[in-house]
Structure 1
Amino acid sequence: MSEKDIYGNLPEAELNRRRESAREELVSLYSVRTREEGEFDAPDDASEFRDIDPELVTWEGPDDPANPRNFEKGKKWKITMIVSLYTFVSPFASSIVAPAVPAYAREFGITNPTVMSLTVSIFLLGYAIGPLFFAPLSEMYGRVPVMQTSMFFFFVFALASAVSQTTGQMIAFRLIAGIAGSAPLALGAGVLADIWNSKELAGAMALFSLGPLAGPVLAPVISGFIVENVSWRWVFWVLTIVCGLTGIAGLFLFRDETYAVVILNRKAARMRKETGNNGLHTVFEVSRDVATMWRLALTRPFKLLCFHPVVFLLGLYMAFTYGFLYLLFVTFPTLFRTVYGMSVGISGLMYIGPGVGYALGLLVFTPLMQKIFLRLTAANNGVSQPEYRLPPLLLGGLLISSGLFWYGWSAEYALHWIMPLIGAAMFGMGLISVFGSCQSYLIDMNPRYAASAISAATVFRSLFGFAFPLFGAQMYDKLGYGWGNSLVGFLALPIGIIFPALIFRYGKNIRAKADARLEKNESGILAKADEKAKAKLESRRMSAGGNNSDGMDNVELKEVRGDNAV
């Protein structure tokens, strides 16, 4: 694979001409194929274009063990388990502090209920910030270093929270911990898609999805007894221990990179060093302008939220329901301790209520969504539409509103403690329908923008999860649990019926127009980047004496074009 092995004794001018021509044709053909297949598909090595570009570095055949899709089953499940554990620990940290709030509020002299809620929900603001950066970083440097680094900082700031001495320190440390802890949620599904094919992915995703559901439910159950029997600081010490043990496990169990692009780029870099041929490259190194791809990756979620009506409406619905969930989480301790006279530990057990709803939702809505989707697809001559994912949303919306009404009025009249929990379970069951249907729709509606759409929805819902608890205490103080939850329930009911019905009826046309606008915008950005790169290249050629690319080696050409070499 040395330069001489490939090109023989060609003059340098002719060699450079052939190189540049081959790369331009490679980039053109691969760009067309990428547009057709979409960014959500696992990237391959473009090996079918080897006859066009002899310096293209690819996998060593379809069974290359370095390809993440060819990892042994044991290694795949090992990676799946550690990523699922990461995704459990982060949401675990989001709600573990809820029972401890009254205790550290007394120590820090916090009397404002909004500030008390802020110390809990500020963690979710970090969830809204982190995903915007972790996904692009993982595409440049790999999943493993980004995930491991984020978990290290997650551990550090969990530890810092345990030794906080002021309200400001607590809020700042929780925010940074939330940013670091968002990495598994932003990258976890991508890691699984890296190693499992579409037929095998379902089982791995089922294990992965348990973390975000089980974490927020189990954390307060544990922390309630810790606060009651030890001290509030031990809530954070336990969290620190869990984070530390998880991080250590990850260092041993999650060491193999899974992102094919980075693996191949590293292979090309190693081959360039071994052979001395700086012309060796992967398709990703010559087809990606780092600055332009960063710009597209970072701005696309905002474009989708602001200019894509379907993403906005479904993202808004998910955001509302997520906000309602954390509104319940921060009010559980007050309700069950003041109205029902429970101890801190026993009141923490009440978080099992939404957990039961999650379990029922998974059992009922997972097969129901698939059955409805397949039936509607069959009725449409076997042609599926993303809108076929939405009918269960109507039932989920009714469950969410009914659960809020049930929870609120049973708490208002201090009925038996099981009654509010039944309402919370109904809410949790409906929440599974909302998240399952909406996220499936966002993935199906346009595979090319699936990752960005999910990222946009994650940012949106995290902002609501952060904001809703801030006004919860004041709302319940003025309206009571009955009318307070009724207000939220009346808001959820029309959103849960109107949004799904509107998108089911008109979503296809709305999607087509919005996708066309986004495609036109991004094509314009890429075209301008190409023109700029060509102008810069021509300027350097002229300054080199007008000899085209003569005298310009591969490294100089990369510098001009801004190619991504890892």
Structure 2
Amino acid sequence: MQDPFLRNSFWGTVLNYLSGHKLFIHKEEETGYAIPKKYLIIRDPIVEESEINDVIRVKSLADEEQIMESSNEPVNNDKESDSKSIIVDWDGFLTVAVYMGAAIYTPGVDQLIEKFNINQTQATIPLTMFVVGYGVGPIFLSPITENAAIGRTSTYIITLFIFFILQIPTSLSTNFAELCVLRFLAGFFSSPALATGGATVGDVITLPYLPTGIAAWATTAFMGPAFGPLIGAALVVRGGHDGYESWRWPFWFMAIISGTCFLILGWTLPETYGKALLYRKANRLRRITGNKNIVSEGHIENSNRTRRELVVKSFYRPLEITLLEPVVLSINIFTTLVYSIMYLWFEAFPIVFQEVHSFSLVELGLSYSSIIVGVVSGAVVYVPYMYQHFTKRVLRGDSITPEIFIPMAIFGSLLMPIGIFIFGWTSSPDIHWFPPLVGAAICAAGSFIIFQTLLNYMGSSFYSYLASVFASNTLFRSVIGGVFPLFGKPLYENLGSKKFPVGWGSSVLGFISLAMASIPVYFYFNGPKLRARSRYAS
């Protein structure tokens, strides 16, 4: 089968190897394939040793070839590290990016409390553990996706399979500690699909359209937490039968969904990382030519990478950049606040819509759709703005700075507290249930815009250390934000009143977010000076 979409997929690659390269073959493996001379071992005795160069860099793009010569060391075919290296470069790729994730167990919290004899705060720990696992995972797993020998798709599919397997014991949990540990592991192994999706989008979308592509991907990321309670509520209400504990059904549902995605994406999600594709192409050419001198950029990187460099890249540098760069630290704090508020709403919504307005469990799940409406509304505002002010200017060749993202960040920073205040002070028995949904939607729109603009600003400012700054942001916001639901209900209960149960609790968050709006304003006026003094800024 010659379809490039399938042969670059996970299962296509596996079956190609297991069949001895007879299935899902690449053009280099086809019968009658004419091997380009540049890939053949040079054995012409007329050629002087001094004329044979140590490195020949071959670049193939749209069937154009260019050979670049570098040094004048003799050939040694026994040791690749000392031999002539023929570097295989890019000649095309096909790709697709996928994002999937959901927070789904929360509608069964009351059953968890009864089953394991725990309190409300303890029942929130499985949510916290999942989010913390998602934050820790990229520190370990994201660097793997940037290793050319592994690539993105293999990491996605294998960790997705582990995530699928973990749903089975989670569904069968017999004690609370077991449930918490399994939720942490599920979050950990879900992190490549959640945290590295933006990198996959960057693999396949050119720079002018990258903010739009990232926004489309991030829209689904924001929608996940909103869909989870809705689906979970339906499963909990309808899932019980013959005494079966219906709180387990959301995990069985996730097992079905993740297992199905594992099978489908194994065929339909091709490798998108250019270095991984070229690494495999170089290996094919080495096999069919017998020329061990053929290498890709990934081969060279792996041969030169020391264990110390791997540790620095994966662990130390993200922490160093966070602590030493005021821009990164400020954005991490702001996005952590946004993230925390999103998860605090898992505690506020039941108070407002079940306790105050007597919604059923499914109706409560439906109330989270206001977040979806807000995210879509935010995207409708953000995408055209970025097209006009970023995409068109890049296409024209205009010079732009990271501060181009800041005006929209300021807008989102003002929109968010407005939504929080509306949500908090319209959540009352004397007021219809619709205004709090409007407030939630406005806040979600502002949150979406803040995330998009500030992460783009940070990525543009620290482009050379993109993986490290995003890993630090994911760790920072997920570990801290994941803890917030543990004290969400006490926050609202201690500050609430009978007439406005979440008014002052929401106001605390609103005032904090309003103060945080000063961060993008400060960046707008001082961004260039901050980058000039920075050790890591691009």
TM above 0.5: yes
Q: Which moved more, 1:189-198 or 1:157-166?
A: 189-198
Structure 2: any 5+ residue segments left out of the alignment? 1-36, 72-83, 240-245, 497-501
Task: Tell me the residue number matched to 2:363.
Answer: 346
Structure 2 residue 504 is matched with structure 1 residue 488: no
Q: Which moved more, 1:183-192 or 1:116-125?
A: 183-192
Task: Tell me the residue number matched to 2:401.
Answer: 385
Do 1:2 and 1:277's aligned partners in 2 also have CA atoms closer than 8 Å?
no
1:229 pairs with 232, 238, 242, which one? Answer: 238
> Whole-Å Cα distance in 2 between the matches of residues 135 and 490 of structure 1?
35
Structure 2 residue 137 is matched with structure 1 residue 163: no
Q: Which amino acid aligns with 2:507?
A: S
Q: Which moved more, 1:220-229 or 1:483-492?
A: 220-229
Do 1:376 and 1:388's aligned partners in 2 also have CA atoms closer than 8 Å?
no
Deviation at residue 455 of structure 1 after TM alignment: 2.4
Deviation at residue 504 of structure 1 after TM alignment: 1.1
> Whole-Å Cα distance in 2 between the matches of residues 44 and 115 of structure 1?
58
Structure 2 residue 335 is matched with structure 1 residue 318: yes
* Helix, strand or coil at the partner of 1:278: coil
Task: Tell me the residue number matched to 1:50.
Answer: 68
When the two structures are superposed, what TM-score results if normalisation uses the length of structure 1? 0.76
Task: Tell me the residue number matched to 1:532.
Answer: none
> Whole-Å Cα distance in 2 between the matches of residues 200 and 322 of structure 1?
26
1:329 pairs with 346, 350, 369, which one? Answer: 346
How do 1:139-178 residues align onto structure 2 when only pairs under 5 Å count? 139-140=146-147, 141-178=150-187
Deviation at residue 3 of structure 1 after TM alignment: 10
> Whole-Å Cα distance in 1 between the matches of residues 230 and 376 of structure 2?
17
How do 1:389-404 residues align onto structure 2 when only pairs under 5 Å count? 389-404=405-420
Task: Tell me the residue number matched to 1:536.
Answer: none
Choose between structure 1 and 2: higher helix proportion. 1
Q: Which amino acid aligns with 2:160?
A: M
> Whole-Å Cα distance in 1 between the matches of residues 44 and 197 of structure 2?
46
Q: Which amino acid aligns with 1:131?
A: P
What RMSD in Å do the two structures reach over aligned CA positions? 3.2
Task: Tell me the residue number matched to 2:266.
Answer: 251
Q: Which amino acid aligns with 2:385?
A: L
Q: Which amino acid aligns with 1:108?
A: F
Change (3 A) 1:44 1:412: farther
Q: Which amino acid aligns with 1:152?
A: F
Deviation at residue 168 of structure 1 after TM alignment: 0.6
Q: Which amino acid aligns with 1:504?
A: Y
Do 1:340 and 1:414's aligned partners in 2 also have CA atoms closer than 8 Å?
no
Task: Tell me the residue number matched to 2:432.
Answer: 416
> Whole-Å Cα distance in 2 between the matches of residues 18 and 100 of structure 1?
73
Structure 1: any 5+ residue segments left out of the alignment? 31-42, 520-566
Structure 2 residue 39 is matched with structure 1 residue 22: no
Change (3 A) 1:207 1:489: closer
Deviation at residue 414 of structure 1 after TM alignment: 5.1
* Helix, strand or coil at the partner of 2:358: coil
> Whole-Å Cα distance in 1 between the matches of residues 234 and 39 of structure 2?
68
Task: Tell me the residue number matched to 2:253.
Answer: 238
> Whole-Å Cα distance in 1 between the matches of residues 348 and 62 of structure 2?
49
Listed one character per residue, the Cα deviations across residues 469-496 of structure 1 (whole Å, up to 9, x for unaligned) are 1111111121111111111111111111
Structure 2 residue 532 is matched with structure 1 residue 508: no
Q: Which has the higher contact order (CA 8 A, sep 6+)?
A: 1
Structure 2 residue 109 is matched with structure 1 residue 101: yes
Structure 2 residue 122 is matched with structure 1 residue 118: no
When the two structures are superposed, what TM-score results if normalisation uses the length of structure 2? 0.80
Q: Which amino acid aligns with 1:488?
A: L
> Whole-Å Cα distance in 1 between the matches of residues 174 and 373 of structure 2?
37
Do 2:211 and 2:456's aligned partners in 1 also have CA atoms closer than 8 Å?
no
> Whole-Å Cα distance in 2 between the matches of residues 374 and 263 of structure 1?
28
Q: Which moved more, 1:147-156 or 1:130-139?
A: 130-139
Structure 2 residue 461 is matched with structure 1 residue 445: yes
> Whole-Å Cα distance in 2 between the matches of residues 345 and 5 of structure 1?
68
Listed one character per residue, the Cα deviations across residues 95-126 of structure 1 (whole Å, up to 9, x for unaligned) are 21111111122111112x32122121211101
Change (3 A) 1:261 1:365: closer
Do 1:57 and 1:264's aligned partners in 2 also have CA atoms closer than 8 Å?
no
Task: Tell me the residue number matched to 1:208.
Answer: 217
Deviation at residue 320 of structure 1 after TM alignment: 0.6
Q: Which amino acid aligns with 1:22?
A: D
Task: Tell me the residue number matched to 1:555.
Answer: none
Deviation at residue 351 of structure 1 after TM alignment: 0.3
Deviation at residue 263 of structure 1 after TM alignment: 2.2
2:139 pairs with 129, 132, 142, which one? Answer: 132
> Whole-Å Cα distance in 2 between the matches of residues 225 and 4 of structure 1?
62
* Helix, strand or coil at the partner of 1:179: helix
Length, aligned pairs only:
472
> Whole-Å Cα distance in 1 between the matches of residues 272 and 506 of structure 2?
45
* Helix, strand or coil at the partner of 1:281: strand
Deviation at residue 411 of structure 1 after TM alignment: 2.1
Change (3 A) 1:282 1:370: closer
> Whole-Å Cα distance in 1 between the matches of residues 248 and 206 of structure 2?
44
* Helix, strand or coil at the partner of 1:258: coil
Do 2:208 and 2:391's aligned partners in 1 also have CA atoms closer than 8 Å?
no
Deviation at residue 286 of structure 1 after TM alignment: 2.7
Task: Tell me the residue number matched to 2:499.
Answer: none
2:475 pairs with 425, 443, 459, which one? Answer: 459
Do 1:47 and 1:58's aligned partners in 2 also have CA atoms closer than 8 Å?
no
* Helix, strand or coil at the partner of 1:50: strand
* Helix, strand or coil at the partner of 2:88: coil
Structure 2 residue 292 is matched with structure 1 residue 278: yes
> Whole-Å Cα distance in 2 between the matches of residues 370 and 197 of structure 1?
13
Structure 2 residue 370 is matched with structure 1 residue 361: no
> Whole-Å Cα distance in 2 between the matches of residues 214 and 345 of structure 1?
17
Q: Which amino acid aligns with 1:315?
A: N
Deviation at residue 377 of structure 1 after TM alignment: 9.9
> Whole-Å Cα distance in 1 between the matches of residues 413 and 207 of structure 2?
30
Task: Tell me the residue number matched to 2:275.
Answer: 261
Do 2:222 and 2:372's aligned partners in 1 also have CA atoms closer than 8 Å?
yes
Q: Which amino acid aligns with 1:51?
A: E
Listed one character per residue, the Cα deviations across residues 377-407 of structure 1 (whole Å, up to 9, x for unaligned) are 99xx943110121112222222211222221
Change (3 A) 1:191 1:46: farther
Listed one character per residue, the Cα deviations across residues 336-355 of structure 1 (whole Å, up to 9, x for unaligned) are 22222221111111101122
